[in-house]
Structure formats: C-alpha cells, structure tokens
C-alpha cells in the first residue's frame, strides 16, 4: 500500500531542500519551493533541481577561492 501523504518541497536560505508533509507548518528558516505531490514525485523533483547538495555558503566560498587562485596563476 502506498503512502497517501502529500508532501511539499521546502528550501532554506542555504538552498538545501527537504520534503515536508503538506498542510504542516514549516519550521523557521524554511519556505515552500513550489512543488508538491507524493513522496516519490517530490524526491524525483529534488533530485532534478538540487544536483549539488553542498550548502550555498560553501559553494560560494569554494568558487571565490577558485577565482582567487585562477587570478594569481598568471
């Protein structure tokens, strides 16, 4: 028997994604991303839209470091 629970995809300021039961208040710092459905549908959506699961702050820091290194490699 499949789970009848509907979920929504939530995202935080670090662009991390989570599934949350639809109709349940989101915790502080999270907002609805705009997609909802069965668990399997939501997981497939998250897999599609969140290929790099590192937090946004880490991705930015690594990109800044790479740009500094590339600038100094002349």
Instruction: Give me the residue spans of the domains in the chain.
Output: 7-72
- Tell me the pTM: 0.78
Q: What is the pLDDT of residue 72?
A: 72
d(CA 38, CA 42): 6
Could you report the per-residue pLDDT of 1-51, keeping only the tens digit for each? 566 899 999 999 999 999 999 999 999 999 999 999 999 999 999 999 998
Q: What is the pLDDT of residue 74?
A: 55
Q: What is the DSSP letter of 26?
A: P
What is the CATH code of the structural domain delimited by 7-72?
3.90.820.10
Q: Are 33 and 17 in contact (CB under 8 A)?
A: yes
Q: What is the pLDDT of residue 55?
A: 87
What is the H or E stretch that residue 62 is in?
A: helix 56-72
């Amino acid at each position: 028997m499949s789970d009848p629970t509907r979920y929504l995809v939530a995202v935080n300021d670090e662009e991390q994604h989570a599934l949350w039961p639809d109709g349940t208040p989101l915790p502080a710092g999270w907002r609805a991303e705009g997609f909802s459905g069965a668990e399997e549908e939501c997981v497939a959506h998250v897999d599609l839209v969140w290929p790099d699961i590192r937090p946004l702050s880490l991705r930015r820091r690594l990109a800044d470091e790479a740009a500094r290194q590339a600038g100094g490699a002349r």
